[in-house]
Amino acid sequence: MKVGIPRGLLFYRFYALWKTFLEELGAEVVISPPTNKGIIQKGLTYAVEEICFPAKVFLGHVLYLKDRVDLIFIPRIVSFHRREYNCPKILALPDLARNLFNIPEERIIGDEINMREEGMRGWRRGFLNIGKHFTTKESKIMKALNLAEKAHKDYQANLKKGMLPEDLIDHKNPLPLREKKIVLLGHTYLLSDSYINMNITEKVNDLNYSVITPDMVDEEKKRYYLSTIPKPSFWTISNEIIGSTLYHLKERKPEVRGFIHLVSFECGPDSLVGELIERLLKREKESLPYLRLEIDEHTGEAGLVTRLEAFVDMMEWRYKSLESYVSPFASS
C-alpha cells in the first residue's frame, strides 16, 4: 500500500518519525518532491486566501500526491506538548484537503494526536489509531512506534549538531561552517523549505555567516528561558522561537552577531511573536541587530538579497565600531 506524505508544515519536524513508523507497518512511503513552482501554483489555485503561504504550499503537495498513492498521511496534530496547541491551520489540514480536493474520507489518515491534556498517553493513543489503518495487532504498532521514536531522536540529534532538515531528508552536503553566526528564527517549515525561503541559509552562508535555528538549541534550555517571561504563548512552535531568542540573548555567545526572524505574512501567531521579540531585544542594554523578513507568494528574491546584504553590512559596522547609539533594528 502506497502512503503519501506531503512535504510541508510539520513534515520537516517529524520526517524520520513518520517515515519509519509507516514503513515498519508495511507501507510504501511516497514523499512529494521538493517544493517547486508547479506545486506552489497548485496550492495557490485551490487554497482560500485567508490561510498562510506555507499552508497553501502544503495543499499543493497534497494535490501532487492525490492520484499517485492509496492513502495520504495528514494526521490532525492538535498538540505535541502538554498545555499547548498547534495553530488552527494545522488542526484543520485533514478537513481542508478532503473538502478542497474531494478526497474520500477513507483515503486520508487524519487521526488525532493530542498531548495537551494527557502527554505521552495522548501521543501513543493517536499513533495506535493510525496504526490500525494497517494492522489490528497493537504489539506490532507499538514496536513500530518505538523504532520510529528512536529514529526521531537520532534525527533531532543531527539537527542539534548543526545540520538542516533538507540535509538529512535529501542527503545534501551541509554548508561550510562559518565562525560568525546569525540566529535564524521562524517556523521549521519556513526555515527548512529552501524554495519558499529562497535559499536563505545558503545566501547567509555566502555572506560568511552560518545560521543557528531553534532546532539547534537544546529543548530544556529553550523551556528554561521561556519560563522567565510572565506568560508564554498558546502555541508550541511560537514558544520555541521565543525560548531560542531568550537563550541567545542571555547566553551571549560571542560568535552570534544578530537575529533574523523569517515570518509568513498571513501568520497571526508570527505577528504576536515578532512584537514580543522586538520588545525583548529593546530591553537589553547591549542588544543585537534584528531583521524581520516577511515571506509570501509575492516575495521577490532580489529584494531578499538586498535586505540581507544591508543587514550584514550593518552588523559588521556595528560590531567593529561598538557605537551605543546605533539602532539594532531593521525591518522589511
Q: Which structural domains are found in the chain, ordered by start?
A: 2-160 (3.40.50), 165-331 (3.40.50.11900)
pLDDT, residue 57, reads 96
**Residue 324 banded pLDDT, cuts 50, 70, 90:** very low
> Tens digit of pLDDT for each residue in 57-104?
999 999 999 999 999 999 999 999 999 999 888 999 999 999 999 999
Calculate the alpha carbon distances from 241 to 109, 175, 274 in Å.
Answer: 29, 23, 10
**Residue 328 banded pLDDT, cuts 50, 70, 90:** low
Least confident of 14-28, 70-84, 280-294: 280-294
* Residue 289 predicted with pLDDT over 50: yes
Per-residue pLDDT, averaged over 197-210, amounts to: 97
pLDDT, residue 153, reads 98
